């Protein structure tokens, strides 16, 4: 049995279904991210797990014990929430000590733990400062130290880095990963930023309209999204309308962008004939076919070329469909001429097919 289990959770606000049929299992020590667009139910699920929101139905259990009715303060979870601000009149050290005082730790133990947490988040020199004397990143480190100080059973984080600029956000992402490794605490993290989710998580649960539509490791979601929505949300380029057809001898073929190719057996056994969506990663589009491998040969013209350093970003206008983007090897001397005819090749085993729904 998993460490944290949410089963059949449902929550409505009047006509709005914030959560429907939510099932999620998190292992002890895992870093799991709830990823989805704004309004898809991520915060509602986190609040239900925290105990601040009571679900209409369903259960939440921790280490085999039903905690659905347990008060938030008795769950022993740490929180780093949007707008869950530091206490402005307290020093950094007092902020971190606060949850320990609430738990009636003795003074010596509190002092030792505060010192340890300050060192862990790299703020040992700033213990006496007030929150307003800190940068945004430093404040967030204090919030994280405060949330981890009492050895929470789980750390719940709701878009904790969304207010920081890009560079600081990336630094803090690495820092949170390090803290996760170092403490071994289970992290449940909410973000709408797919890059952040991919970079940080052991597993990601993708939300769409109050439901979890796919759960998996970042690589699984990236390479094998189960729906067009997940593929699009995971930042896949080149989602293209296609048709699934049965070729000679029963092979499954796809028709897209004016070309046709047989897919490897087994890949799309469950797909019915008819309209579907294919996706092709820019890095899987090549100027030459791979010898001995069936490929989709897409003919079109070069619409745009940008030199981005490690590759050329080439936009192609296929004869039979919308523009696609390819990462082609950078030519050291010149760009492909815009307007020139071009044929690019995508290996059949690199083509993803998902139902349109």
Ligand X SMILES: Nc1ncnc2c1ncn2[C@@H]1O[C@H](COP(=O)(O)OP(=O)(O)O)[C@@H](O)[C@H]1O
- Minimum Å gap between C-beta 180 and ligand X is 21
- Minimum Å gap between C-beta 39 and Mg ion is 8
- Residue 99, contacted partner among Mg ion, ligand X, none, CB below 5-8 A by kind: none
- Residue 13, contacted partner among Mg ion, ligand X, none, CB below 5-8 A by kind: ligand X
Three-state SS across the chain? CCCEEEEEEEEEECCEEEEEEEEEEECCCCEEEEECCCCCCHHHHHHHHHCCCCCCEEEEEECCEECCCCCHHHCCEEEECCCCCCCCCCCHHHHHHHHHHHCCCCHHHHHHHHHHHHHHCCCHHHCCCCHHHCCHHHHHHHHHHHHHCCCCCEEEEECCCCCCCHHHHHHHHHHHHHHHHHHCCEEEEEECCHHHHHHHCCEEEEEECCEEEEEECHHHHHHCCCCHHHHHHCCCCCEEEEEEEECHHHCEEEEECCEEEECCCCCCCCCCCEEEEEECCHHHEECCCCCCCCEEEEEEEEEEEEECCCEEEEEEEECCCCCEEEEEECCCCCCCCCCCEEEEEEEHHHCEEECCC
- Minimum Å gap between C-beta 16 and ligand X is 5
Size of the site for Mg ion (CB under 5 A): 1
Cβ closer to ligand X: 190 or 198?
190
Cβ closer to Mg ion: 46 or 252?
46
- Minimum Å gap between C-beta 75 and ligand X is 19
State the residues that interact with ligand X by CB under 6 A. Answer: 13, 16, 18, 36, 38-44
- Residue 295, contacted partner among Mg ion, ligand X, none, CB below 5-8 A by kind: none
- Minimum Å gap between C-beta 325 and ligand X is 28
- Minimum Å gap between C-beta 155 and Mg ion is 17
- Residue 36, contacted partner among Mg ion, ligand X, none, CB below 5-8 A by kind: ligand X
Task: Return the number of other C-beta atoms located less than 10 Å from residue 80's C-beta.
Answer: 22
Q: Any contact of residue 43 with Mg ion (CB under 5 A)?
A: yes
- Minimum Å gap between C-beta 48 and Mg ion is 13
Q: Any contact of residue 277 with Mg ion (CB under 5 A)?
A: no
Cβ closer to ligand X: 44 or 138?
44
Distance CA 11, CA 20 (A): 7
Cβ closer to ligand X: 16 or 338?
16
Cβ closer to ligand X: 154 or 259?
154
Q: Any contact of residue 237 with Mg ion (CB under 5 A)?
A: no
Cβ closer to ligand X: 29 or 39?
39
Which span (7-15, 37-45, 64-72, 173-181) binds Mg ion, by CB under 5 A? 37-45
- Minimum Å gap between C-beta 222 and Mg ion is 23
Nearest to 206 by CA among 36, 48, 42: 36
Assess contact for 277 and 227: CB atoms under 8 A. Answer: no
Distance CA 331, CA 245 (A): 37
Cβ closer to ligand X: 43 or 238?
43
Cβ closer to Mg ion: 162 or 182?
162
Cβ closer to Mg ion: 34 or 296?
34
Which span (35-43, 83-91, 222-230, 236-244) binds Mg ion, by CB under 5 A? 35-43
Nearest to 350 by CA among 288, 287, 279: 279
- Minimum Å gap between C-beta 235 and ligand X is 18
Please report, as ranges, the residues that interact with Mg ion according to CB under 5 A: 43
């Amino acid at each position: 049995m998993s460490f944290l289990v949410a089963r059949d959770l449902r929550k409505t606000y009047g006509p709005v279904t914030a959560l429907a049929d939510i099932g999620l299992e998190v292992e002890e020590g895992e870093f799991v991210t709830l990823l989805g667009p704004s309004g898809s139910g991520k915060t509602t699920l986190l609040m239900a797990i925290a105990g601040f929101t009571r679900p209409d139905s369903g259960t939440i259990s921790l280490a085999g014990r039903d905690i659905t009715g347990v008060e938030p303060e008795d769950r022993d979870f740490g929180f780093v929430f949007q707008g869950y601000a530091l206490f402005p009149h307290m020093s950094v050290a007092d902020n971190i000590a606060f949850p320990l005082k609430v738990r009636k730790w003795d003074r010596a133990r509190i002092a030792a733990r505060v010192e340890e947490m300050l060192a862990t988040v790299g703020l040992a020199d700033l213990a006496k400062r007030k929150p307003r004397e800190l940068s945004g990143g430093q404040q967030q480190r204090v919030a994280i130290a405060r949330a981890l100080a009492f050895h929470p059973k789980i750390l719940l984080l709701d878009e904790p880095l969304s207010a920081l600029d890009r560079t600081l956000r990336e630094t803090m992402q690495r820092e949170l990963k390090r803290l996760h490794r170092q403490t071994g605490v289970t992290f449940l993290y909410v973000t709408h930023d797919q890059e952040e989710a991919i970079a940080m998580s052991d597993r990601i649960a993708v939300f769409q309209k109050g439901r979890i539509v796919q759960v998996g490791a970042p690589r699984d979601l990236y390479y094998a999204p189960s729906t067009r929505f997940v593929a699009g949300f995971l930042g896949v380029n080149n989602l293209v309308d296609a048709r699934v057809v049965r070729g000679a001898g029963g092979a499954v073929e796809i028709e897209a962008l004016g070309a046709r190719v047989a897919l490897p057996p087994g890949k799309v056994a469950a797909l019915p004939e008819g309209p579907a969506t294919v996706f092709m990663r820019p890095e899987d589009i090549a100027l030459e076919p791979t010898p001995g491998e069936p490929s989709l040969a897409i003919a079109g013209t070069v619409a745009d070329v940008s030199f981005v350093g490690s590759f050329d970003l080439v936009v192609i206008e296929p004869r039979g469909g919308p523009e696609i983007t390819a990462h082609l090897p950078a030519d050291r001397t010149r760009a492909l001429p815009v307007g020139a005819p071009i044929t690019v090749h995508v290996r059949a085993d690199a083509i993803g097919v998902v139902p349109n729904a």
